[in-house]
Amino acid sequence: MTGADYGQILLFLFALVFVTPVIGTYMTKVFEGSRTVFTPVFGWLERLSYKAAGVEPNEEMSWKVYATHLLMFNLIGVVFLFVLQLTQSWLPLNPQNLPNVSWHSALNTAISFVTNTNWQGYSGEVTMSYLTQMLALSVQNFLSAATGIVVAIALIRGFSLRSSPTIGNFWKDLIRLTVYVLLPFSILFAFVLVSEGVVQTFSSSVDVWTLEGVKQSIPLGPAASQVSIKMLGTNGGGFFNANSAHPFENPTPLTNFTEMFAIFLIPAGLTYVFGSMVKARRQGWALFSAMFLMFVVGLGASLLSEFSHNNVLQQAAVMEGKEVRFGVMNSVLFSVITTDASCGAVNAMHSSLSPLSGLVTMFNMGVNEVIFGGVGSGLYGMLLFALLTVFLAGLMVGRTPEYLGKKIESWEMKMVIVSILAPAIVILLGAGISIVSPAMLSSVSTKGPHGLSEMFYAFLSAASNNGSAFAGLNANTIGFNIALAIAMLVGRFFILVPALAVAGSLANKKYSPPSVGTFQTDTPLFVFLLIAVIVIEVALTFVPVMALGPVVEHFMMLRGITF
């Protein structure tokens, strides 16, 4: 690594710490209904949205009503996306005359974008019309991101409210978040991307002749608007098949840096929102510290592995599968960031990472992506782990566990266990069944431990709502499209709904003042215990399959053996 590489990493870390309270303060004002800098600009849109949807913004909802409205809203989104893909050839804004999408790919894609996964078993530029890209995929990039964030806010209210039967209004939270955070931020970011060369046009593909005298069709389209929200909303779906490795999505080192930073911007800011709304900012910084430390350690391990000597290729810092304009360090940094957050955008092929670097990406997703995580989902996932930590700490000292003045009882722990076990079960079952299924096994391009990693990574990515792929796996088949769609649904809603159930239970509880025996949750000890609980959970769940995949591949590499 060069001095410039170290400097860029330090700049990224410093900027993340510096911006967190800034963006967090702004989002707190949005969620508390205060006037913001964008109120004069977008206030009319908020009021129009309430009127068009027939919403009474001051009407409070119980957690069950909140969850019901959320689920119905997402169901409508799935149906709309599904139908639009099946009919795109007869609709406008299809200059390339692309055909309708197959039913199983359309179903997988609809569920993928509604669950904020953005797994893509197809090549975007030759499958989706401009109308589908904008009206279906880009719109869901906003709405799926907003859905995750409002659940995190509802859970925060569960801690801050006292003996309340309600946790807010789903529609008000969704509209305010979209209008005052996601929309203006994505517009500003899109202008930055366009200024650096990211394409934004309705023109059709352009045919050119290469230096070899071969005719090549260069795809175009309204990419910048989708790229901006795919990063800010930790969605990750690429307008082009190569995603952020494509020069039309990520042309310069500046766009590469800003795209990486955009992935962490809102998830990091939400930790500050948490501290502000519960009136204990040290609590928010404790969660930020746990996420930050796990990110730094994972990044260090991945960089160490990638820059170590590869005995198969007889060199270090292998460039295969990576973009020359970014280099190895930026490829590794991007891979760690995108799998820490449930983003899934990539600027290099993860299948080409060294075995232990690949292991780091799997670990990041295996923790339910709470290392900053997806927008909203990272925070509510981390808060559920925090409840598990204080519960275990309470058992060790023989006291009733408490967190922020709320007693943690059996109902909360049942919901926490469901949120942890449900994704793990669907990942292991899905990968295990696929490995013994001849039809699905035929989709794997590589034998040996790397082939196992491809299969495991696919289900891990789907159930973690990440969306990135290990490449080499032909997942656009009926079997994989259906299996991965199920994994995405379980990974999203079997965490999201339990989080709302916990929010409702906590909001209805009375406040218990801290006593001498109360376990402090804003100290380095709590941060250490929280990280330990997360690591142990991943180890108990996924170590066997990780050992048979990337770990075996690593030892084979050390002996110069390939497969």
Q: What is the dihedral of CA 46, 51, 54, 55, to 10 degrees?
A: 30
Residue 396 sits at the vertex; the CA angle it makes with 393 and 398, to the nearest 5 degrees, is 105
Q: CA-CA distance, 29 to 473, in Å (whole number)?
A: 45
What are the helix and strand counts (H, E) for the chain? 20, 6
In one-letter notation, the amino acid at residue 441 is L
Contact by Cβ (8 Å): 427, 310: no
Coil, helix or strand for 218? strand
CA proximity to 466, closest of 458, 454, 474: 458
Provide the sign of the torsion angle of the four alpha carbons 340, 344, 348, 352, taken in this order.
positive
Per-residue pLDDT tens, the chain, 563 aa: give them.
888 999 999 999 999 999 999 999 999 999 998 889 999 999 999 999 999 888 898 899 999 999 999 999 999 999 999 999 999 999 998 888 889 999 999 999 999 999 999 888 888 778 898 899 888 888 999 999 999 999 999 999 999 999 999 999 999 999 999 999 999 999 999 999 999 999 998 887 888 888 888 888 888 888 899 899 999 999 988 888 888 998 999 999 999 999 999 999 999 999 999 999 999 999 999 999 999 999 999 999 999 999 998 888 888 888 888 888 899 999 999 999 999 998 889 999 988 899 999 999 999 999 988 999 999 999 999 999 999 999 998 888 777 788 998 899 999 999 999 999 999 999 999 999 988 888 888 888 788 898 899 999 999 999 999 988 887 788 888 989 999 999 999 999 999 999 999 999 999 998 888 777 778 899 999 999 999 999 999 999 999 999 999 999 989 888 888 77
Cβ-in-10-Å burial (0-12, 13-18, 19+) of 333 comes to: buried
